[in-house]
C-alpha cells in the first residue's frame, strides 16, 4: 500500500440508483462525495429496457437513459464521479482504505457501499443476445410488457414462485421450468403456484436454448430424465434462479447472511463497522427495486452525514481539551 493515498471525506462505491442517490444527498450536505462507478456504470438498470414503475416518469423511461439522468443529477450537485472498480478494502481503522483497479488506494472518513447484486443467468448465448428483448431477470420490471401473452420462467425457488404468481395475473399462461422433480420454494409458495390454473409446471426440465432472432419467440426445453426435447412458444423468458450480492471484497469485514447480503442495523444502513454504510441490493434480498434502492441510498447519505458530523464534533472537542491542557 502506498503512503501518499488520496484522502476523501465520503466515498461511494457503486453507481446504481442507491449509489447515485447517496451521492445527490451527500453532495447537497457538503460531504464532497467521490463516487466510483464500478464495472457497469449505472448498474442493473442499464441492461433493462423500459422502466414504468419509477415514480416521476409518467410516460416511462428506458433504464439506461434513467441512469444517465441519475448520474447528471449527482454530478450537478457536485459529486466527483470516476470510472473505476473497488478491488480490495481495509476497514481496520478510520480513515478506511479502498483500493481501486488493483493499484490506487483511497482513504475515506466514511464509505457508502452500494455495489448491488447480480442476477444469476443460465449461461446461454441466446440468453445474452435476447436480454432486454424478452429475456429478463425481473418479472416486476418487465412482466407488464407481456400482458395476455404466454411466457416462460426458469427456477423453482421462492423468487421464481413469487414471480410466476405475479406473471399469472398479467399473462395468459406461465410455463414454469423446474430442473428437479420438486421446488426449492417454501411450502406455502409451492401450494400457491400449484393452485394457480394458468401456471403450468414442467418438472425435471431445463431450458436448452431461447429461440428468436430479435425477440423471444420460443424456448427449447429438455426433460433431463427422458431426454425428450420440445419447443414451447413464449413471448418472454424470465430467469429466476437466484441473485448474488456483489459483496466479495467485503468478506471478513462486514457481517453478512449465508448468501452474502450485508447485514444492517434495523431501520438504518449502518453496518457492524461504524463509518461504513451499505445501500441498495447489496443489503436487500427481498424488494430489489430501483425505487427501494434509491430510498436506501438516501438513508445511507443521511447516516453518513450524521456519523461524520459526530466525528468532527468529537475531534474539535478533543482539540479544545488539548488547548486548555497546554
Ligand atoms: P434459490 O437459490 O432459493 O432458488 C434458486 C432456484 O433456481 C432453485 O429452484 C434452483 O434449483 C434453480 N436453479 C439454480 N440454478 C439453475 C440453473 N442453472 N438452471 C435451472 N434452475 C436453476 O434463489 P431465490 O432467488 O429463489 O431465493 C433466494 C433466497 O431469497 C431464498 O432464501 C428465498 O427463500 C428468499 N426469498 C424469499 C422471498 C420471500 O420470503 N417473499 C421471496 C424471494 C426470495 P435447485 O433447487 O435444483 O437448486
Once rounded to an integer, what is the mean pLDDT over residues 306-323? 82
Q: Could you tell me the three cell numbers for 296? A: 436506501
pLDDT tens profile 270-287: 999 999 999 999 999 889
Dist. CA 205 → ligand 1 center (Å): 15
Q: DSSP code of 180?
A: S
Q: What is the pLDDT of residue 326?
A: 56
Whether the per-residue pLDDT at 1 is higher than 70: the answer is no
Question: What's the CA angle centered on 189, arms 49 and 184, to 5 degrees?
Answer: 85
Q: Tell me the per-residue pLDDT of 16-47, one tens digit each, with 9 for 90 and over.
A: 999 999 999 999 999 999 999 998 899 888 86
- Could you tell me the distance, in angstroms and rounded to a whole number, from the CA of residue 138 to the centre of ligand 1? 14
Question: Distance between CA atoms of 100 and 80, rounded to whole angstroms?
Answer: 15
What number of other Cβ atoms are within 10 A of residue 227's Cβ? 7
Q: Which atom of ligand 1 is nearest to the CA of 158?
A: 26
Nearest CA to ligand 1 atom 45: 184
Nearest Cα residue to atom 33 of ligand 1: 158
Which residues line the pocket of ligand 1, CB cutoff 6 A? 122, 154-160, 162, 179-180, 184, 206, 241-243, 285
What tens digit of pLDDT does each residue of 147-186 get?
999 999 999 998 899 999 999 999 999 999 999 999 999 9
Among the options 141, 158, 171, 303, which is catalytic?
Answer: 141
**Number of C-beta neighbours around residue 278 at 10 A:** 31
Q: Which atom of ligand 1 is nearest to the CA of 285?
A: 30
237 a catalytic residue: no
Q: How far is the CA of 287 from the centre of ligand 1 (A)?
A: 15
pLDDT digits (tens, 9 = 90+) for 209-254: 999 999 999 999 999 999 999 999 999 999 999 889 999 999 999 9
Q: Which of 137, 154, 159 to mutate to test the pocket of ligand 1 (most atoms within 8 A of CB)?
A: 159
Please name the residue that has the C-alpha cell 484522502.
7
Beta bridge pairs of residue 152: 175, 237
In the reported structure, the alpha carbon of residue 241 is separated from the centroid of ligand 1 by a whole-number distance in angstroms of 5
Catalytic residue among 142, 158, 281, 284: 142
Give the residue whose CA is nearest to atom 2 of ligand 1. Answer: 242
Cell 429438455, residue? 222
Whole-number Å distance between alpha carbons of 16 and 278: 13
Domains of the chain: 7-119+243-325 (3.50.50.60), 125-239 (3.50.50.60)
Report pLDDT digits (tens) over 115-139. Answer: 999 889 999 999 999 999 999 998 9
DSSP class of residue 179 equals: S
Tell me how far the alpha carbon of residue 70 lies from the centroid of ligand 1, in angstroms: 31
Q: Which member of 138, 158, 284, 303 is catalytic?
A: 138
Give the predicted TM-score (pTM) of the model: 0.79
Amino acid at each position: 500500500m502506498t503512503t501518499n493515498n488520496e484522502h476523501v471525506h465520503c466515498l461511494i462505491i457503486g453507481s446504481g440508483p442507491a449509489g447515485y442517490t447517496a451521492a445527490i444527498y451527500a453532495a447537497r450536505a457538503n460531504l464532497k462525495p467521490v463516487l466510483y462507478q464500478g464495472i457497469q456504470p449505472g448498474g442493473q438498470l442499464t441492461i433493462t429496457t423500459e422502466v414504468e414503475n419509477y415514480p416521476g416518469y409518467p410516460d416511462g423511461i428506458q433504464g439506461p437513459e434513467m441512469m444517465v439522468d441519475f448520474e447528471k443529477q449527482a454530478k450537478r450537485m457536485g459529486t466527483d464521479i470516476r470510472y473505476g472498480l473497488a478491488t480490495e478494502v481495509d476497514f481496520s481503522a478510520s480513515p478506511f482504505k479502498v483500493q481501486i483497479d488493483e493499484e490506487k488506494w483511497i482513504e475515506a472518513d466514511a464509505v457508502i457501499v452500494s455495489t448491488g447484486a447480480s442476477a444469476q443467468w443460465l449461461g446461454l448465448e441466446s440468453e445474452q443476445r435476447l436480454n432486454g428483448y424478452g429475456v429478463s431477470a425481473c418479472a416486476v420490471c418487465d412482466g407488464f410488457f407481456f400482458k395476455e401473452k404466454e411466457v416462460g420462467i426458469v427456477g423453482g425457488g421462492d423468487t421464481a414462485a413469487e414471480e410466476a404468481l405475479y406473471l399469472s395475473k398479467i399473462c395468459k399462461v406461465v410455463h414454469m421450468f423446474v430442473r428437479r422433480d420438486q421446488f426449492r420454494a417454501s411450502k406455502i409458495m409451492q401450494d400457491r403456484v400449484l393452485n394457480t390454473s394458468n401456471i403450468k409446471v414442467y418438472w425435471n426440465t431445463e431450458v436448452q436454448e431461447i429461440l428468436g432472432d430479435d425477440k423471444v419467440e420460443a424456448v427449447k426445453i429438455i426433460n433431463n430424465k427422458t431426454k425428450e426435447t420440445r419447443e414451447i412458444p413464449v413471448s418472454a423468458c424470465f430467469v429466476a434462479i437466484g441473485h448474488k450480492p456483489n459483496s466479495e471484497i467485503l468478506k471478513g469485514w462486514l457481517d453478512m447472511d449465508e448468501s452474502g447480503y450485508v447485514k444492517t442495523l434495523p431501520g438504518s444502513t449502518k453496518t457492524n463497522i461504524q463509518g461504513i454504510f451499505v445501500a441498495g441490493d447489496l443489503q436487500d434480498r427481498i424488494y430489489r427495486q430501483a425505487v427501494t434502492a434509491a430510498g436506501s441510498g438516501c438513508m445511507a447519505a443521511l447516516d453518513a452525514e450524521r456519523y461524520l458530523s459526530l466525528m468532527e464534533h468529537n475531534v474539535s472537542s478533543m482539540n479544545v481539551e488539548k488547548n486548555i491542557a497546554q
